[in-house]
Amino acid sequence: MEDLRALAAHGSVSLRLFLLMALMLFAVGSAICALPPDEKKLDSTLVIDLPAPEGEVLQAVRTASQDGIIHGSQVYDKEPILDGAEPATSNKYFGKYEGTGHVFYKVRPDTISPRHFKASADLGTISIRYIVESLSAMNTRLQIDAVFVQDIGGRIHPSDGTVETSEFKEIQDRIRAIEYRKKKDAEGLKARQAFDEANATPERQRDDEIGRLGAAQTSLQNMQNRLHDLRHELEVRVKDPGADLKSAPFHSAVALRSLPTDSELLILIVTPYWYGVETTDGQHGWISRAVVEPMP
């Protein structure tokens, strides 16, 4: 009888010890899930710099996060596609993202022992995080993390890298499709423009010619106006008969010749009272500003 009581007492102690250890394991698992993202270093984290603008990468990642599929994993051998995933704006495991760039999440709850998550077992949730960060106008950094967390006990099973690389391939294919569409759209626009030019109607050709002629006439008129302005700025004419062309800018200087009225002169030098000028036959000299006037 005493032996039975001792055994019962020993069993009670063992049961209490088991419960205490279970509570400790649960607390540790919960603490790990509560770690901020900077303290969670997954060995399978995939970081790639893509030669593509941020807008294209964002479009591809947003579509991938909403496609409902966990790429690179499965639950049953006969079902190679693991669907049922949902996009999310936040994630309990990864916590609040406080870095730069844009973050997206895709989760698949109620998943039984998914493939390519290390030692995965039991029922849990797959969480995928995508981080998109612009590096330059034509370069963008993409980071992908994937993890499976059991519902009971919160045990963490990181991906072996297959999920991250499969998700990246899906995103890369979408980026290529976007670039292909842009290229085809540009080629189509160029082809339509060439077709329109080759098949322009006589009326349109006439209108185009009239437009070009009008532009040329406007350009010519602008040049004539500018020439007129330059003549006013650089040319004068004699307004008094018998104006003397001097050898120096002084009234006492030697007179080189007498200029008739309306003689045109090109201004070379400007002083407060004299112009250094050139005549139409190429002679240089000085003339008083008082005896000349601007060209009409």
Tell me if the pTM is above 0.85: no
Query: Which domain, by its residues, includes 44?
Result: 20-180
**What span, in angstroms and rounded, lies between the C-alpha atoms of 221 and 27?**
88
CB neighbours of residue 1 within 10 Å: 5
Predicted confidence at residue 163, as pLDDT, reads 96
Q: What is the pLDDT of residues 46-104, one digit of tens each?
A: 999 999 999 999 999 999 999 999 999 999 887 889 999 999 999 999 999 999 999 99
Same domain, 250 and 160: no
Same domain, 168 and 29: yes
Q: What is the pLDDT of residues 209-235, one digit of tens each?
A: 888 888 888 888 888 777 667 666 789
Nearest to 129 by CA among 169, 178, 168: 168
Residue 147 phi/psi, 5-degree rounding, is -150, 150
- No. of helices (H) and no. of strands (E), the chain: 4, 13
Residue 122's Cβ-count burial label (10 Å; 0-12, 13-18, 19+) is middle
Percent of the chain past pLDDT 90, that is, above it, reads 62
Look at 25-34, 141-150, 153-162, 188-197 and tell me which has the smallest mean pLDDT.
25-34
Segment 172-178 mean pLDDT: 95
Which DSSP category does 144 fall into?
E
- The CATH number of residue 264's host domain is 2.30.30.40
Number of structural domains found in the chain = 2
